Amino acid sequence: MREPVIAYVGIGANLGDAVATVRGAIERLGSLPQSHVMKASSLYRTAPHDAQGPDFVNAVAQLQTGLEADELLAHLQEIEQEAGRERPYRNAPRTLDLDLLLYAADRIDGAKLTVPHPRMRERAFVLVPLSEIAPQEVTAAQLAAVSGQRIEALPPA
């Protein structure tokens, strides 16, 4: 086991009660073994991007975790399954999507896991909530590059 590290998880939902699903997912992340949610961003309503269906609700959570990256991914997929996720086709609408964005400063290039998440820098729905809780991870130029994508913060619960 390694020392606990900081990891960032991107959360998205666009079917059913997406707000409740995202809030529930943040709670579940906090209940993973050897893991704590240190910070959670606001919830955001975003236009579908690289995806289909209704607007998404997105957020990013900062975890401190003693899990290895591949173990964390397996837990994320289990939480998706609990939320009833099906994968009928790529980029299909989904009840819940959990992506491992960053894991410490590690670079991972495996068959099942690529970290940093390869498409995160193209996506306002990742960069805006990430910059809210971890401004050091996002540059102004990166935010400017996605400023054409529709995203609005939801009021706190």
Q: Which residues bind Ca ion (CB under 5 A)?
A: 97, 99
CB of 156 to ligand ATP, least distance (A): 26
Q: What are phi and psi of 79, to 5 degrees?
A: -65, -40
52 binds ligand ATP (CB under 6 A): no
Choosing from 53, 81, 87, 153, the residue that interacts with ligand ATP (CB under 6 A) is 87
Q: Which of 17, 45, 55, 94 is catalytic?
A: 94
Task: Work out what residue 100 binds among Ca ion, ligand ATP, none; the CB cut-off runs from 5 to 8 Å by kind.
Answer: ligand ATP
Q: What are phi and psi of 29, to 5 degrees?
A: -60, -35
Three-state SS at 24? helix
Concerning whether 97 is annotated as a catalytic residue, the answer is yes
Site for ligand ATP in 107-136 (CB under 6 A): 112-115, 117, 119
Q: Amino acid letter at 142?
A: Q
Q: Amino acid letter at 139?
A: T
Task: Work out what residue 115 binds among Ca ion, ligand ATP, none; the CB cut-off runs from 5 to 8 Å by kind.
Answer: ligand ATP
CB of 139 to ligand ATP, least distance (A): 20
104 binds ligand ATP (CB under 6 A): no
**H or E segment to which residue 64 belongs:** strand 56-65
Pick the piece of the chain touching ligand ATP (CB under 6 A) from 15-23, 35-43, 96-104, 128-136: 96-104
Concerning whether 121 is annotated as a catalytic residue, the answer is no
Q: What is the 3-state secondary structure (H, E, C) of 88-146?
A: CCCCCCCCCEEEEEEECCCCEECCCCEECCCCHHHCHHHHHHHHHHCHHHCCHHHHHHC
